[in-house]
Amino acid sequence: MKKVMVVMGTRPEAIKLCPLVLELKRRNTVFDVLVCSTGQHRAMLDSALEAFSVKPDFDLDAMRTGQTASDLTGRILRRMDEILDAESPEFVLVQGDTTSAFSAALAAFHRKIPIGHVEAGLRTYHMHDPFPEEFHRQAISLMTDYHFAPTVTAKRNLLREGKHESRIYITGNTVVDAMRLTLTGKRPFSDWNLPSDKRMLLFTAHRKESIGERLCGMLRALRRIVEETPDLIVYYPVHHNPEVRRAAIDILKGVPRIRMIEPPEIVSFHHLLSRAYLILTDSGGIQEEASVLGIPTVVMRYSSERTEGMRSGVLKLAGCSEQGIYELTKKLLSPKSVDYEMMKRPSAIYGDGNASIRIADVLMRI
């Protein structure tokens, strides 16, 4: 049996790793799978794990109020080291670019345990955008033995950085595997009570580098757009970060047709997303999901590592200024917008939903 430890700490990691955990567990004559949760984002992580019925074997419970990135890195590193010492897995799998992924990879690296990096090779090459994630990704790649790149572009980035081709596997993105699981079967909040005479705009914003004046500009742009577009209804899952909540309430309270809701768990969220007419977001994962579904998306960032989605036309970069977001969104919402129609294209750029199978196959061969 090959003992594999899968480490995750945040909602997006759980969403993208649970399909792989389920696939590895399905091959239970080959793999002994241990799931380790760092608890970096407690509530949202737990609800994503629950949605896929995945129970962690270890819980580092590393989240503290007011924690700094260094506090968190230190706590995860120490606890991971104890667990790795006790369990001696053959592989440690991490996903993406969070503090949890970076710290777990570093702990495995110190113990010379081979690391598999899921969603390897994403880059903006701007060390502060996204921060500190761009550093985490590049640092994890330095320590990784097996790079599971979601796309050809990601593979090219890794090759350019000198990673050996024989260690890079193009698998597709496991988010598509997750969408296969969440979007089939029963609709949990059927139709979300969407009025049939309205177009639905889904809004999310909570990146660390957005919080502050940038976020306020995004929210003001949203308010202007809604006030000027009577057939628009907005669903806005408001992130748990208190600064985000304060800004959202200050700027949007009382504005008609904006429904500020608690962040839905992933199954409900994917169903809501699939009903959107337009998406405004600063999220990374939602850019991929929107590309898969072909829902036109205004990306409220200055750069994006989801270059495939940009090229396919589904995503458009608006920057973070109030005016930039306002103008692009208004253009896309205008009646019979040609730009909108050109963006409305589902695509397979992020894979076919079999990424977890490919990763498990590679781990079996090693």
Binding site for ligand UDP (CB under 6 A): 11-12, 15, 204, 237, 263-264, 266, 269, 283-286, 289
Q: Distance between CA 305 and CA 195 in Å, rounded?
A: 35
Q: Residue 315's beta-bridge partner residues?
A: 297
Q: Distance between CA 113 and CA 349 in Å, rounded?
A: 32
Q: How distant is the alpha carbon of residue 305 from its chain centre?
A: 12
Judged by beta carbon, residue 89 or residue 309, the one nearer ligand UDP is 309
CB of 3 to ligand UDP, least distance (A): 28
CB of 174 to ligand UDP, least distance (A): 11
What contacts 100, CB < 8 A, 6 or more positions away?
A: 7, 8, 9, 10, 13, 38, 40, 62, 76, 94
Judged by beta carbon, residue 83 or residue 94, the one nearer ligand UDP is 94
Judged by beta carbon, residue 8 or residue 83, the one nearer ligand UDP is 8
CB of 356 to ligand UDP, least distance (A): 15
Judged by beta carbon, residue 7 or residue 84, the one nearer ligand UDP is 7
**DSSP 8-state secondary structure symbol assigned to residue 263:** P
Judged by beta carbon, residue 264 or residue 296, the one nearer ligand UDP is 264
Burial of 190 (0-12, 13-18, 19+ CB in 10 A): exposed
CB of 175 to ligand UDP, least distance (A): 6
What contacts 253, CB < 8 A, 6 or more positions away?
A: none
- Asked whether the beta carbons of 190 and 275 are under 8 A apart, the reply is no
CB of 261 to ligand UDP, least distance (A): 8
Determine the residue type at 87. Answer: E
Judged by beta carbon, residue 147 or residue 239, the one nearer ligand UDP is 239
How far are the Cα atoms of 15, 18, 203 from residue 182, in angstroms, in the given order?
10, 12, 20
CB of 14 to ligand UDP, least distance (A): 9
